[in-house]
Amino acid sequence: MNKKELLYHKFESLRSIIKSTLGQDPCEKTRKREVIDARKIFCLIAYDSKDSFDLSWVQILDNGKTIVEIPRSYITLESIGKFLNKDHSTMHFMLKSGRELLEVDDEFTISYTRVYSKFGLNFYKQLEYLNISIDQAEYNLEKLKQHRKKLMKSKKQNDDKSNLPKQGVLFEISEEF
């Protein structure tokens, strides 16, 4: 999965969180206030979180073996607009009006907070799995170290035995004297 596909996957994840939390699809083509607010929340979370160190833009792949961070340069108003089938200037307006609503509209702020916390929780569920994977990897590493130690000890014993002269050689030498 390349990073642009990963960005699309994260946008799709944010979209599904908004749909399940608010009951509105930000990609729906309508002028209903609820859907427009959902778009604003989508735009705010997608765009503003790129400027902070937001772990929601990190993806853990392959059962915790690979961690990929989406470059912040990929998260632009243009890429957000492309996902929502809107122009980047529309996204700029959504961003500006969304920030204003956060300051004055309590209902909008509550909706934003609910969606944002769920979007962050998505990553922390992955992180929890990763921590389990790290614990398992550390356990496996310790087992491998113990096994290596046994092998090295065994090899050393075998080397010590091979350095000893063979009995037949000792016998031949002793007959000459």
State the SS3 of 54-100: CHHHEEEEHHHCEEEECCHHHCCHHHHHHHHCCCHHHHHHHHHHHHH
**Could you tell me how far CA 13 lies from the centroid of its own chain?**
13
pTM of the model: 0.62
What is the structure's pLDDT at 26? Answer: 93
Q: 171 pLDDT exceeds 60?
A: no
A 10 A CB-CB count for 120 gives 15
Q: Using one digit for the tens of pLDDT, what is the confidence trace for 117-161?
A: 888 755 555 555 555 556 666 776 777 778 778 878 877 777 666
Are the CB atoms for 29 and 36 separated by under 8 Å? Answer: no
Are the CB atoms for 55 and 123 separated by under 8 Å? Answer: yes
What is the structure's pLDDT at 63? Answer: 54
Q: pLDDT tier at 35 (50, 70, 90 boundaries)?
A: very high
Nearest C-alpha neighbor of 14 from the set 92, 67, 106, 83 = 83
